[in-house]
Amino acid sequence: MTSTTIRSVSQESRIFEPPEEFRAAAHLSSFDEYTRIYEESITDPEGFWMARALEELVWAKPPTRAIEWEPPHAKFFADGELNVSVNCLDRHLEAGKGSKTAIVFEGEPGDIRKITYQELADEVNRAANLLKRLGAKKGDRVGIYMGMVPEAAIAMLACARLGLIHTVIFGGFAVESIRDRLNDASARFVFTQDGLHRRGKAVPLKAQVDKALEQVASVEKVIVFKRTGQEVDWVDGRDLDWAEAMTGESTDCAPEIVDAEHPLFILYTSGTTGKPKGVLHTTGGYLLSVKLSARYVFDLKDDDLYWCTADIGWVTGHSYVVYGMFANAATVMMYEGAPNHPNEARFWEIIERHRVTIFYTAPTAIRAFIRWGDQHPKAHDLSSLRLLGSVGEPINPEAWVWYYETIGNGRCPIVDTWWQTETGSIMLSPIPGATPVKPGACSHPFFGVVPKIVNESGEEVPDGTGGLLVIEKPWPSMLRTLWGDDQRFRETYFDIFPGKYFTGDGARRDEDGFYWVMGRIDDVLNISGHRLGTAEIESCLVGHPYVAEAAAVGRPDELKGQSLVAFITLKEGLEAGAEVAAKLADHVSQEIGRFACPEEIRFAHALPKTRSGKIVRRLLTKLAAGEELGGDMSTLEDPSVLDELKKKGY
């Protein structure tokens, strides 16, 4: 933890009631109703979750126990058995929903595909049969490095069908990140694409996998979906063409029934050290949480067309593009490309063309829309929208109000949903027909969630005071451990406040009981809604032959929320300058991914350190933001470096 006091600065106090028309038709239509269910969920969690599990999920063997909690380890429905793909597909076919559209896909070049639940199930079964033929066994790990195409969801569900554990790697990651994740998970199989369409270009994906696999011994087969048709290298015996390999596979594949606590996926996320954390989610509890939260938070109805713009490579894509949505038999919009291709109206065109009813995006995107100008949304008919959502970072009240008025036309409630890769599902959010909202607040806890705001000694702070956000009781979709590193799991999340889950976020609860999340208090940044550990960037930078030492810090950014500033000491004999800076930026793009590129690089002959050799990050953060340093510098080993580092970089 780097900061001891958290100041809460948001002053917004307007309250927006759910619009009457929305309330009248909503699943939950009053605050009293929400409160009653919430109270039940926290006073009798056993009874509450058991009843919901039996109601909501199809079990091969129904559970008899709801919760086992031996901090920090939780089990939910441990003696129950089920299969996730059965709950997302087969049950809907049995209910006569085979011809309902599951996915409306729009590619960046403009191609449109609609896939029914029957077709989705057929493709998932084919892919599962292929994996079986290749020798996949329950518990094997499968890497998925793909863009936003239906085949990515098919690959995920095919894994779930066989009890394989997928690890989806965001398509924006590059070689080093892919390699480390596949190695950490010892993946046997990889799904990828030749490339994806982004801003009019064909961005290579398979080429990145090829390079990564030079240093991964565990991968036996690579299944390549041909999306762009661009040229790719081919390794005979290892690489399979998706289309060729699937033809001939049967559309029947018996589901592998697994224990409720069988792992469903690993999703790597940034922490405060260079090594990403393999967050592990399991089957029954995860599925129940995402299904229930999807239904209540998004007020999902049978005829909705729901669009979440998050990439499948992040947890939002897992929980609220794939599992939570298909578990509810929802119709999901999926768009492949950039929001500003061929122009800045693309999203509004998509909403108008397909009549999207629920739109879930990130504050970064909203701020970009504002910058691009009101003329774009104004030129399109957005009247199909009935609900808006926000996720990934705090939404500033200005952006909230713009979203509400310009996109929602004052008719659509906004759900500002707070959660994390680790929590698996939405933890704090308004319930749109029930909760009055304040712009910028994540409102109230979802069912079963017991949040507390504490000080550094773990004592609860009074309402209105900033503190650290912890969660007191286990919830069904909480992470179970970190893949291969239970010790780090304990240390990161449970040792700080024994028995309580520590979120890493600062927050406050106001006098009216609304929660406001202010953001990370550790060295994890949130750049355009992407989580990134500064330590990851630092270890990448020092991996470059020019670099002797590197530190990276965040700086407030109007558009991206935060941006990255790197401070570098070069090795002897090298000259700082724009050219070297460009090389280092390119190195980060090549290794981690473009989104992780520093916005500015500053050079000095040394970094500010204490006499014991610790880099003083607090000073670097101030330097990056252009703030006065103030304070006592006498503990620094060499205060003269500060003048060098104050100079603008490249």
- 110: which 2 tokens? 């403009």
Could you tell me which residues come within 8 angstroms of residue 429 by beta carbon, excluding any fewer than 6 positions away?
293, 297, 415, 416, 417, 418, 442, 443, 444, 446
List binders of ligand WTA among 298-337 (CB under 6 A).
314-316
CA distances from 9 to 4, 12, 384, 440, 518 (A): 16, 9, 35, 11, 9
Nearer to ligand WTA, 104 or 308 (CB): 308
Applying CB under 6 A, which part among 54-62, 292-300, 448-456, 514-522 lies near ligand WTA? Answer: 514-522
User: Does residue 519 interact with ligand WTA by CB under 6 A?
Assistant: yes
User: Does residue 34 interact with ligand WTA by CB under 6 A?
Assistant: no
Q: How far apart are CA 536 and CA 550, in angstroms?
A: 11
User: Does residue 167 interact with ligand WTA by CB under 6 A?
Assistant: no
Nearer to ligand WTA, 82 or 395 (CB): 395
Nearer to ligand WTA, 107 or 561 (CB): 561
Q: Which amino acid is at 326?
A: F
User: Does residue 388 interact with ligand WTA by CB under 6 A?
Assistant: no
Nearer to ligand WTA, 145 or 493 (CB): 493
In eight-state DSSP terms, residue 575 is P
Q: How far apart are CA 140 and CA 161, in angstroms?
A: 12
CA triple 284-121-168, angle to 5 deg: 60
CB of 419 to ligand WTA, least distance (A): 5
Applying CB under 6 A, which part among 6-14, 301-309, 329-337, 419-427 lies near ligand WTA? Answer: 419-427
CB of 23 to ligand WTA, least distance (A): 22
Candidate residues 171, 392, 424, 561; the one interacting with ligand WTA per rule CB under 6 A = 392
Q: Do 144 and 222 meet the contact criterion of CB atoms below 8 Å apart?
A: no
Q: Do 428 and 453 meet the contact criterion of CB atoms below 8 Å apart?
A: no
CB of 525 to ligand WTA, least distance (A): 10
Q: How far apart are CA 162 and CA 155, in angstroms?
A: 11
Cα pseudo-dihedral 79, 84, 90, 92, rounded to 10: 100
Sign of CA dihedral 173, 194, 424, 299: positive
Phi/psi of residue 625, each to 5°? -85, -5
Secondary element (H or E) of residue 554: strand 547-557
User: Does residue 418 interact with ligand WTA by CB under 6 A?
Assistant: yes
Reference 266, options 200, 329, 185; nearest CA is 185
CB of 517 to ligand WTA, least distance (A): 4
Applying CB under 6 A, which part among 88-96, 252-260, 413-421, 565-573 lies near ligand WTA? Answer: 413-421
Q: What pairs with residue 201 in β-bridges?
A: 198
Candidate residues 228, 289, 357, 421; the one interacting with ligand WTA per rule CB under 6 A = 421
Q: Where does 201-316 show beta strands of DSSP type E?
A: 201-204, 221-225, 239-241, 258-259, 263-269, 277-282, 305-308
Cβ density class 380-404: b for 16+ within 10 Å, e for less: eebeebbbbbbbbbbbbbebbbbbb
Q: How far apart are CA 105 and CA 108, in angstroms?
A: 10
- 5: which 2 tokens? 């006091």
List binders of ligand WTA among 233-272 (CB under 6 A).
269
Please state whether 248 falls in left (phi above 0), alpha (psi between -120 and 50) or beta. Answer: left
List binders of ligand WTA among 439-458 (CB under 6 A).
442
Candidate residues 83, 125, 282, 417; the one interacting with ligand WTA per rule CB under 6 A = 417
According to DSSP, the β-strands at 165-168 and 141-145 are: parallel
User: Does residue 293 interact with ligand WTA by CB under 6 A?
Assistant: no
Candidate residues 122, 210, 256, 505; the one interacting with ligand WTA per rule CB under 6 A = 505
User: Does residue 90 interact with ligand WTA by CB under 6 A?
Assistant: no
User: Does residue 531 interact with ligand WTA by CB under 6 A?
Assistant: yes
User: Does residue 509 interact with ligand WTA by CB under 6 A?
Assistant: no
User: Does residue 129 interact with ligand WTA by CB under 6 A?
Assistant: no
Q: By rule CB under 6 A, what count of residues binds ligand WTA?
A: 23
Nearer to ligand WTA, 593 or 649 (CB): 593
Applying CB under 6 A, which part among 486-494, 518-526, 600-608, 616-624 lies near ligand WTA? Answer: 518-526
Candidate residues 148, 185, 391, 592; the one interacting with ligand WTA per rule CB under 6 A = 391
CB of 310 to ligand WTA, least distance (A): 8
Q: What pairs with residue 555 in β-bridges?
A: 563
Candidate residues 218, 340, 420, 455; the one interacting with ligand WTA per rule CB under 6 A = 420
Candidate residues 49, 191, 419, 567; the one interacting with ligand WTA per rule CB under 6 A = 419
User: Does residue 416 interact with ligand WTA by CB under 6 A?
Assistant: yes
User: Does residue 403 interact with ligand WTA by CB under 6 A?
Assistant: no
Q: How far apart are CA 132 and CA 118, in angstroms?
A: 21
User: Does residue 361 interact with ligand WTA by CB under 6 A?
Assistant: no
Reference 56, options 293, 331, 381, 266; nearest CA is 293
Applying CB under 6 A, which part among 83-91, 154-162, 205-213, 515-523 lies near ligand WTA? Answer: 515-523
Q: Which residues bind ligand WTA (CB under 6 A)?
A: 269, 314-316, 391-394, 416-421, 442, 503-505, 517, 519-520, 526, 531
